[in-house]
Chain A
Amino acid sequence: MASGLDQRVAVAPAEPMVPRAFSIKRVRQDTHDTFTLDLVPPEAFSFSPGQFNMLYVFGVGEVPISISSDPAEKSTIQHTTRVVGTVTTALKGLRKGGTVGIRGPFGSSWPLAEAEGMDCLIVAGGIGLAPLRPVIYSILAQRKRYRRVVVLYGTRTGEDILYTHELERWRGKFDLDIQITIDRGGPDWRGNVGVVTTLIARAPLDPADTVAMVCGPEVMMRFTLLELQRRGIPADRTYVSMERNMKCAIGFCGHCQYGPTFVCKDGPVFRFDRIAAIFGKPEI
């Protein structure tokens, strides 16, 4: 099976196992359980959309988190994180002026070059919007290189929507179609209600000329892929970001083995046809 090598980028840390100290510029609470860290690297930091860093809270532990900021911004990077365990709880407790150890960037990236000249469909579920946010920034920076761009974003409630100001701003642009849907609508919600898969059928795209990028919980991705297939978007133009228990981030330790691949170095972004045989298999 081929790996995601065609999406790999040249940027790789010189000392991949040695964390560098990044200072915390800001901690912003996005939703009740999600926050964004603005981090200042010791020197200019380059990454490709879809890549991740290992974030080390000294004395607590290390977690892999996707980079969620604008790739053009080299002096500050952002990580949007949900509080789910010991390390992310400790990360949330850090304050402006504190320090986080960073290893990275690691992994493959979204297929922005391949998507040039085509329609782009970005499907995000929950915190899955964070790894796709750099894609949106990159597309907007080179908007003329892409045809129609559709962002479909599903989340639990109106209060769980990430990057609300940005989404509003992007929605105001006439060259970007953003559809948000929530699972549970309150009395004040006037938008879509339902899972994100229900928006795919009516996305204004030419399926024969579309590149799809999908990130979210695995069940959501499974049903999204079925809908994309139904819509006629082929598996070799569909990309997913996988999440596994990454530890070393350079393919040594084997914690994130995914069939014949390692999510940390062959992924996290995979072209779907290359993992279709193992995707969704409970044993893997």
Chain B
Amino acid sequence: MIESLEPVIEAHLFFKGLEKRHIQFIAGCAKNVRFPAGAVVFREGDPADQFYFVREGLVAVELMVPHRGFTTLQTVGAGDVLGWSWLLPPFRWRFGARTTEPTRALAFDAKCLRAKCEEDHDLGYELFKRFSHVMAERLEATRLQLLDLYGVGA
């Protein structure tokens, strides 16, 4: 039996307060995906045509650093949003993402949602508000990481 994704999306805190018609549309752009541990979810520089909600597992957001290899900048786990490059031109991933453990997620067709947001500004505004929140959280976390909080004298 095919699981309807509407209730899953509706129950997610990220989509709380969205109109039913928007939830229905978003659910139409979503599918379940699974990745084994160590799988590349997306690569830096590739077109950002999807974004994800992690339902289970852990994903490392990474950057290839010469002479150091792939370096994890942060991880996102169950309940977290993965990917916001799909919202901003040039719609390419700024960083890569790789699972560190078996991961189950919802993948959303970003192209489809982008087009819909252009067409329906109410939906566009609601999504931008929510993604702004995610971006602000990531920025705050990054700033704290830069502080080297746990070092001597912090």
Q: Which residues of A contact B (CB under 8 A)?
A: 33, 82, 84, 125-127, 154-156, 160, 181, 183-185, 187, 189-195, 197-198, 201-202, 216-217, 219-220, 223
Contact = CB atoms under 8 A, between A and B. Distances in A.
Given A183-B149, A201-B79, A219-B147, A194 B74 contact: yes
Contacts of B18: none
Contacts, number: 77
A195 B145 contact: yes
B15 to A, nearest CB: 15
Interface stretch (B45-53, B64-72, B87-95, B116-124): B64-72
B78 A202 contact: yes
A68 B134 CA distance: 37
B19 interface: no
Which range contains the number of B residues in contact with the other chain? 20 to 34
A193 B75 contact: yes
A191 B79 contact: no
Interface of B: 58, 60, 68-75, 77-80, 100-101, 137, 140-141, 144-145, 147-154
A178 to B, nearest CB: 14
A193 B150 contact: no
A217 B152 contact: no
A161 to B, nearest CB: 11
A193 B73 contact: yes
Contacts of B152: 33, 82, 84
B145 A194 contact: yes
A198 B79 CA distance: 11
A23 to B, nearest CB: 29
29 contacts: A84-B152, A126-B150, A154-B149, A155-B150, A156-B148, A156-B150, A156-B151, A160-B150, A181-B75, A183-B145, A185-B72, A189-B72, A190-B100, A191-B75, A193-B60, A193-B73, A194-B145, A195-B144, A197-B141, A198-B141, A201-B79, A202-B78, A217-B149, A217-B150, A217-B154, A219-B147, A219-B149, A220-B144, A223-B140
B25 to A, nearest CB: 26
Given A156-B150, A198-B137, A202-B80, 12 more contacts: A84-B152, A125-B149, A126-B150, A154-B150, A185-B72, A192-B77, A193-B72, A194-B145, A201-B79, A202-B77, A202-B79, A219-B144
A84 B154 CA distance: 11
Nearest to A156: B150
Contacts of B74: 193-194, 198
Contacts of A181: 75
A196 B73 CA distance: 14
Contacts of A191: 58, 75, 100
Nearest to A85: B152
Contacts of B151: 156
Nearest to B71: A185
Nearest to B78: A202
- B73, B75, B101, B152: which has the most chain A beta carbons within 10 Å? B75
